[in-house]
């Protein structure tokens, strides 16, 4: 009879150890799922990746002589998180930067897959688009 009591204590210690290991494995799985969800919600592109596959492209850039506005058509092609787009308008004497995004006055941010036209007062020679200090594209402005 004494052997059965001792063997039950040994079984109890094994069950406790197995349960503790299962709790640790479950915690690791839950934590890894949470971390993967957080990472996938806000993908960030490096500048090199953005230049190879630009998330925003300039579809058209022209000066409308009747309205005296420069018309710029942008297309957002990738689903990367973009908080702000900078349009750098250049002419022979200077350059001006116009920010498009959440807290910017120059325009509403493009949604994924959206094409939108922006109107900027003035006549410029070229326009460049940059995201997070990464110059993506620069085009010459033609007449509309």
Residue whose structure tokens are 């350059």: 95
Paired sense of beta strands 142-143 and 56-64, if any: parallel
- Secondary structure class of 123 (helix, strand, coil): coil
Q: What is the fold of 47-143? A: Immunoglobulin-like (2.60.40)
Q: Which two tokens stand for residue 41?
A: 């919600």
CB neighbours of residue 29 within 10 Å = 10
pLDDT at 109: 82
Confidence class of residue 42 from pLDDT cuts 50, 70 and 90?
very low
Residue 106 gets which letter from DSSP?
S
Q: Per-residue b/e over 126-140, b at no fewer than 16 CB within 10 Å?
A: ebbbbbeebebeebe
The structure tokens listed for 51 are 């230049």
Residues 23 and 29: their CA atoms lie apart, in Å, by: 10
Structure-block tokens of residue 59: 């579809």
Q: In which band, very low, low, confident or very high, does the pLDDT at 12 lie, cut at 50, 70 and 90?
A: confident
Of 1-10, 15-24, 85-94, least confident by mean pLDDT is 1-10
| Confidence (pLDDT) at 5 | 52
- pLDDT value, residue 41: 37
Model pTM above 0.75? no
**Strands lying side by side in the sheet with 115-121:** 115-121, 69-76, 56-64, 142-143
Integer Cα distance of 47 and 73 in angstroms: 22
Please state the rounded mean pLDDT for residues 125-140: 92
């Amino acid at each position: 009879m004494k052997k059965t009591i001792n063997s039950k204590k040994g079984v109890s210690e094994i069950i406790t150890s197995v349960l503790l290991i299962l709790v640790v494995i479950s915690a690791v799985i839950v934590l890894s799922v949470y971390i993967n969800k957080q990472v996938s919600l806000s993908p960030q592109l490096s500048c090199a990746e953005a230049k190879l596959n630009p998330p925003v492209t300039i579809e058209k850039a022209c000066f409308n002589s009747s309205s005296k506005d420069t018309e710029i058509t942008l297309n957002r092609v990738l689903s990367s998180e973009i908080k702000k787009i900078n349009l750098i308008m250049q002419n022979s004497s200077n350059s001006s930067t116009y920010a498009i995004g959440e807290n910017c006055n120059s325009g509403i941010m493009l949604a994924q897959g959206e094409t939108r036209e922006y109107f900027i007062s003035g006549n410029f020679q070229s326009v460049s688009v940059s995201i997070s200090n990464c110059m993506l594209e620069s085009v010459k402005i033609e007449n509309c």
